[in-house]
Every structure is written in structure tokens, then in C-alpha cells.
Amino acid sequence: MKKVILTGDRPTGNLHLGHLVGSLQSRVELQLSHEQYIMVADVQALTDYFGNPEKVMASILEVVADYIAVGIDPTLTTIFIQSQIPALTELTTYYMNMVSISRLERNPTVKAEIAQKEFGESVPTGFFCYPISQAADITAFKTELVPVGEDQLPMIELSNEIVRKFNRLYNTNCLKESKAHLSKVGRLVGIDGKAKASKSLNNAIFLSDSAELIKQKVYSMFTDPGHINVSDPGKIEGNVVFTYLDAFCKEKDEIASLKNQYTKGGLGDTTLKSLLNDILQKLLRPIREKRESISSQELMEICFSGTQKARSVAQKTLVEVKDAMGINFFDKKSCCSSFF
């Protein structure tokens, strides 16, 4: 039996190079050895974008197009849409009874997000509870491994707490604990060098960017502001071009010698940017072409069949959960079967 693995992305824009090295490449490998589910987390995206559901809706097929373009194979991976699985919402409702407000307040990721969003006293309940909804996502599929970045560890911890509490309380083992599968690659910095590459900061190279746009972004990358003349010695640290070369150039010896030359002086930024541009163009061209070759009809079919499968798996878990709690009201009363 293959181990079950589940990940998700919030559909709030197209995916970029940070996603490629941080999660997409490993998903392409993991689908060969695991039973993989990838969830388009539109319900979770709405906890942030409730004022702009159009943006979330418009991003769903873009994200799925990115998945297919990088090599996620819908015959190996189940791709599904969170909002179309009612069992997830039902599980969330029951799990809410097992988590105290103070427990949620201690979640460091949520805490940081609340501060960053400047909610003040008006934290929306839906946002505050999204870790519980995430526990529903994880447990509904009997997930064993959750490939995520470090910021998601508190979510997995909470999910496991809910599992233990539920199983103990209702004397069952229908829910399974899961483990994080931490990504080896750290977050990719944005082209401005200021923060991580992000959709909202507009400092990322997207998988769907045109050749021209990629070039423009590479040539505008932050390097070393003190490196003015080619002959000046330059700094590697904080130099985005080198960060990207480290992430995307396979010739490690070549990078080492370029770094050496750059530090001594005599290597221009334009030479480096031209090299990086060539590498990224080569990497992204087949992805972009594959992306453009898929019709939205095909994408819809992929989402539909993945969602159908996910729905039946999650529904089965929901029935087990309700059985364990003894709340499958009509199912218990066979006299009512003529009702349906």
C-alpha cells in the first residue's frame, strides 16, 4: 500500500519559481511513490479574500494549469477543489468542539498572520479557525505525510492533537495522525531581494511569464549595489542573481568559479544575468508551452474527476466520524430508510 500524501495551495494567483523549487518539483517525484492528493484550497483562500471571491475563482484553473505544466500527472495525483467537498466543512464543524480559543491563539503562524494583517480586535472567525479546517483536510484523506514548509508545522501539530482527542473521546481509531514532510529547499527570495518571492508583492517570476517578461525580471534583479564597475569586487550574499543560480544552475563547479571571480572583481552583473536568463528560459519554456497547450475544458475535466474521487474518500471518513460519535441519525434508524 502506498502512503497517502496531501498538500494544498491557496488559489490567489499563478504559481511561480518559489513554488517550483519549494513544492512542485517534489510533488512530481512523490506522485510516483505515494498516493498523492493535491487540494486547491479555495475555502482557505476565501478566509483572506472574502471580499474578492472572483480573484479566487479565476485563480483555480490557473493553479491547476501550473500543476499540469510542471508534470503533475492527473492519472497519478488526485487534484481537487476544496469548496466542492462538503464533508470537509462538516468535519470542521465537529472538530471545532475539540479546540479551545486559547489553543488557536497560541498558533504561531496564525498569530503572525493576525499581526501582519492588522486585524486588531476584529479577527474574522473564519480566518481564526482555518487551522481546524486544515485538520479536516488532512484527516479526511487519512493522510500520512504532509509536505509543507516550516510555517505549516503548527497546523499538523494541531491536526494530530484533534486526532488523538477524537479517537480517545469516542473510543475509535478512525482518524490517523500525520507527519510533516519538510521541504529541503528554503523559501526562494523575490527578485527585489527584500522578501520571499510572493504573488502579492509582485516580485516573483511566474511559471506562465512570457520569455520577454522573464528576461526583463532577470535583468532587474537586485545584485550588489556597491558593485558599480565590472572590475569592482562584488558581494555574493544577498545577491539575488547568485541565489537563483544556486537554485537553478546544475553546474555547481561553474557557479563556484563565478562566485570566486565576482568576489575578486572583473565579472559584470550583465554577464551573470545573461547566464541566469538562459538557464531560466530553458527551464520555463517547456512549462509555458505545456501550459498553453492545455484547454480549459481539459483542466475542468481534471478538476471534476479528481474532485469526485476526493469527495467519496472524504465522505467515507465523515461517515466513520459520525458513526464513532453515534450521530448518523437516519442511518441508525432503518425504519426511516424509505425516507430517501
Point out which residues bind ligand TRP (CB under 6 A): 6-10, 39, 41, 44, 134, 137-138, 146, 148, 152
Question: Whose Cβ is closer to ligand TRP: residue 148's or residue 249's?
Answer: 148
The answer to whether 131 and 166 are in contact (CB under 8 A) is no
- We find the least distance from the C-beta atom of residue 10 to ligand TRP, in angstroms, to be 5
- We find the least distance from the C-beta atom of residue 92 to ligand TRP, in angstroms, to be 11
- We find the least distance from the C-beta atom of residue 44 to ligand TRP, in angstroms, to be 5
Stated as kind and residue range, the H or E segment containing 18 is helix 17-19
> Which backbone phi and psi does 173 adopt, to 5 degrees?
-130, 30
Q: If you search the block for the grid coordinates 569586487, which residue do you land on? A: 233
Question: Whose Cβ is closer to ligand TRP: residue 187's or residue 215's?
Answer: 187
Nearest to ligand TRP by Cβ — which residue? 8
Closest CA relative to residue 328, chosen from 160, 317, 338, 95: 317
Closest CA relative to residue 311, chosen from 134, 83, 138, 31: 83
- We find the least distance from the C-beta atom of residue 191 to ligand TRP, in angstroms, to be 21
Q: If you search the block for the grid coordinates 479517537, which residue do you land on? A: 167
Buried residues in 242-278 as b, exposed as e (16+ CB within 10 A): bbbbebbbeeeeebeebbeebeeeebbbeebbebbbe
- We find the least distance from the C-beta atom of residue 135 to ligand TRP, in angstroms, to be 9
CA 42 – CA 58 distance, rounded (Å): 11
- We find the least distance from the C-beta atom of residue 167 to ligand TRP, in angstroms, to be 20
Question: Whose Cβ is closer to ligand TRP: residue 30's or residue 148's?
Answer: 148
Stated as kind and residue range, the H or E segment containing 37 is strand 35-40
